[in-house]
Amino acid sequence: MRALVAKRVDRGHADVSEIVDLAEAAGHEVVATLTQTREEDAAYHFGEGKADELAALVAEYDVECVIVDNEVGPYQTFNLGRKLPEGVEVVDRFTLILEIFGQRARTRKAQLQVELAELRYELPRAEVKASLAQRDERPGFMGLGEYDESRERDIKSRISRIKSELDDIADKEEERRERRRESGFDLVALAGYTNAGKSTLLRRLAADLDVDENADRHPDLDATAESEDDLFTTLGTTTRRADTGKRDVLLTDTVGFISDLPHWLVESFQSTLESVYYADLVLLVVDASEPIREMREKLVTSHDTLYERNEAPLVTVFNKVDQLDPDELREKREALSALAPNPVTVSGLTGENVDVLRDRIEAELPDWKHERLLLPLSDGTMSLVSWIHDNGHVERERYDEEGETVTLEFEAPLPVVEQVRARAAEIERGIEAGST
């Protein structure tokens, strides 16, 4: 669809680069742009003169869709639409984002989150849209639809049903996370803005073993996160086992952040963000090839989002350093040291410094508990020893000369140590019962 991109700012320069990328990600062909620096006009969002200029560009370039990089109210949408040729749609920033999300939602969870966001966006506009539609002679003008007094009740009912289903999914995912922790896995989440290279980094760190985070994954979806140069390639979560050293790590890639997201949209994707909030460690991936100003803005926004509920350690990863010379990288590290005091600099594309990142992951994860165990030998004991090797790091395994006991010194997460203690107690009780 041929599109015109427009943006208004109160002051300064209106940068349309991100909204153009978003429009193209949605499949639109951007053929013209328009910007304005002035306070918002209550009637047209832009000044009326600029709205007339916009209409002229639409006619000149045979535009089918006008994409406004701002939140445009229903009345403003209605007024802008009346200046445009019939059939030309007006889409604001958040409607466009929802369009992209809808295109990329491949799992049941992602589809529900997109629908929830759409309904939350629609709810306060439903009554206004209906009244506006009655004022215009064209049926369904601007996609407003015909008046339906039950529309608001229907939206609220659907929101309630979706939230209930998402809560059920979240409960199952929490159970899955706990089972993984009990099995000795540390949970590490990749966070950051879209196109920072998170999916490429996931592929670089991933071991051979696939882990199915989404039991309802679409059969056509590759188990490994895609790494195309595109926005929102990863909408749901993709989890892979990562090779970092002695510890078993599950690494989860989530949907990328994007600037200026309203609260209602972030809330709709809360269950996806829980993969970040409940991780043992968060890797905040930043595109180091971007200008310092953009990196700083994204770091600030990411911190605001993550520190709201996240309690895990956070490691900043400056990615795409293959695109920088050493002096540029040094300048960016110094300029951003307050927000990223000790970043890991890597290239997910070339693999540069990925081993350093693996070491940092191991160092930053919560400390394992050291345990020393003395057990009488039995079939149950040898099964437990094998399980400890699989779920912890065995430092010493020593058998007495008579072959009656084994001493094991190992490190493991606390849930694993607690399971070992419980199983060891069962073994000793079983042996005592057999000897009486």
Which residues constitute the domain of residue 16? 2-104
The length of the chain is 436
* DSSP helix/strand/coil, 341: coil
Sign of the CA dihedral with 235 first, then 240, 242, and 248 last: positive
In a domain, 238, yes or no: yes
Note if the pTM is more than 0.85: no
Positions at the binding site for GTP = 192-199, 253-256, 319-322, 347-349
Residue 22 corresponds to which tokens in the numbers above?
């978003």
pLDDT at 173: 79
| Shared-domain flag, residues 6 and 21 | yes
pLDDT at 172: 86
In a domain, 128, yes or no: no
CATH number of the domain to which 9 belongs: 3.40.50.11060
In a domain, 386, yes or no: yes
In a domain, 431, yes or no: yes
Strands laid side by side in the 29-37 sheet: 29-37, 2-9, 65-68, 89-92
Residue 327 corresponds to which tokens in the numbers above?
């002096």
- b/e 396-435 (16+ beta carbons within 10 angstroms → b): eeeeeeeeeebebebbbbebbbebbeebbeebeeeeeeee
Amino acid at 346: V
Phi and psi torsions of 154, nearest 5°: -65, -45
| Shared-domain flag, residues 322 and 189 | yes
Domain boundary among 54, 80, 104: 104
| Shared-domain flag, residues 259 and 342 | yes
In a domain, 114, yes or no: no
CATH number of the domain to which 260 belongs: 3.40.50.300
Rounded CA gap, 52 and 37, in Å? 16
**Angle formed by the axes of helices 108-135 and 151-182, to 10°?**
160
Taking only Cα atoms into account, the Rg of the chain, rounded to an integer number of angstroms, comes to: 27
Question: Of 218, 179, 235, nearest to 419 (Cα)?
Answer: 179
pLDDT in tens, the chain (436 residues): 899 999 999 999 998 988 998 899 889 999 999 999 999 999 999 999 999 999 999 999 999 999 999 888 888 988 999 999 989 999 998 889 888 878 877 778 878 888 888 888 888 777 666 666 555 554 444 444 454 557 778 888 999 999 999 888 888 878 877 777 766 688 898 988 878 888 889 989 986 434 344 433 333 233 444 444 444 444 456 788 887 877 778 888 876 777 666 666 666 666 666 777 778 899 999 999 999 999 998 898 888 877 766 678 899 999 999 999 999 999 999 999 999 999 999 999 999 999 999 999 989 988 888 899 998 888 889 999 998 888 888 999 999 888 889 999 998 878 888 889 998 988 888 877 766 5
Rounded CA gap, 128 and 123, in Å? 10
In a domain, 65, yes or no: yes
Rounded CA gap, 368 and 410, in Å? 9
What is the domain count for the chain? Answer: 3
Residue 1 corresponds to which tokens in the numbers above?
């669809």
| Shared-domain flag, residues 276 and 392 | no
DSSP 382-418: HHHHHHHHHHSEEEEEEE-TTSSEEEEEEEE-HHHHH
Positions at the binding site for Mg(2+) = 199, 234
